[in-house]
Structure 1
């Protein structure tokens, strides 16, 4: 899913951290004196991907624990 620049609707390369405001390189350079204050969209996507992968692993580990508990013999 490609993010679009809020000014010109081209593909975005930068984001204001913590907002849904995205900018292409040209619009970011025109509107901000220091691009280091913006987050690169690619970096944000990588962080989100790592978060999702971590949650998936936690869910898999939890599911395995539940299955192992169900496999234990019942004692009367």
Structure 2
């Protein structure tokens, strides 16, 4: 939704930054510190399922075919797609 404020910003291909929504006071001083988190890779909101598969799952599948171990851990709301 265009009018809604985004609280997660993609800083780079491996880092996101969290922003507090307007009016949120996170600590006793009424201040909110923006927090950054780094990952191996961050995918943008326009990433297709095919792009995600090619970058994340295909290498694991290829390794499994070669009898190597692999783990794909996903997290999300049940039934969200």
The question of a shared fold, defined as TM-score above 0.5 by the shorter chain, is answered with no
Q: TM-score, normalised by structure 2?
A: 0.29
Give 1 or 2: higher strand fraction.
Answer: 2
Q: TM-score, normalised by structure 1?
A: 0.30
Give 1 or 2: higher helix fraction.
Answer: 1
